[in-house]
Homo-oligomer: A and B are copies of this chain.
Amino acid sequence: MSDGRRPAPARGRPRDAGRDVAILEATLLVLTEVGYDRLTIDAVAARAGVGKPTVYRRYPGKAALVAAAVEHRVPGTPPATPPGDLRAALLLTVRWLADQIAEQEIGLLGALFTGMRNDPGLAAEMRRILRRDEAAMTEEPFRSAVESGEWLVPGAAELFAEIAPAVIVHRLIFAGRPCDQPFLEHLVDDVLLPLLQRR
């Protein structure tokens, strides 16, 4: 939404764009490290090598800062999938997805959990980002699959986006178990493939 940039001051010293990105990247770092509620502006400023007023000059508070940081975040691109082998493509995508969630997104999901209670705007923003990432994620494996002449149930991409992240997050958070290779193969062979290729 608002990125903290004013229309046209045009007078006096302009803001340092380098500090802009330093603040956002530091926010993401702190967010993934300690979670949303333990994130403090002081910690972000220190990590960014920046004074605290420099942060407050750009964002009114924690919610806006985190929203801007998540917005700024460039999601990793899913790996290119080999054409002609749907199982391998799904396995590759699911492994990449599990790594992404385990390494980065847990902090974002925690922010979503925490922030949605008091700041619905932040929650909506984060959901928008997550949808964007998921869309980018589901595009690749199914495009190559369809190109290979593979038959898939209609709405396969949506079904995948609905189930795969859910099950992975459920295992990581609620079960507290890692998404190792046997689990991912189970997910692909016993859940995803039967659903996507069902006729």
Contacts and interface: CB of A to CB of B under 8 A. Distances in A.
B159 A190 contact: yes
A130 interface: yes
Interface in A65-79: none
A132 interface: no
A117 interface: yes
Given A170-B165, A170-B166, A190-B159, A117 B38 contact: yes
Interface stretch (A18-26, A144-152, A173-181): A173-181
B191 A194 contact: no
Interface string A100-136: 0000000001101110111000011001001100000
Counting contact residues on chain A (CB < 8 A from B), the size range is 35 or more
Copies of this chain in the oligomer: 2
Contacts of A85: none
A167 B164 CA distance: 9
Interface string A163-199: 1011101110111100000000000001100110010
A114 B114 contact: yes
Given A37-B37, A198-B194, A176 B123 contact: yes
A80 interface: no
Contact of A195 (B38, B112, B166, B191): B191
A114 B110 CA distance: 7
A34 interface: yes
A162 interface: yes
7 contacts: A35-B114, A109-B173, A114-B114, A127-B175, A127-B176, A166-B169, A167-B167
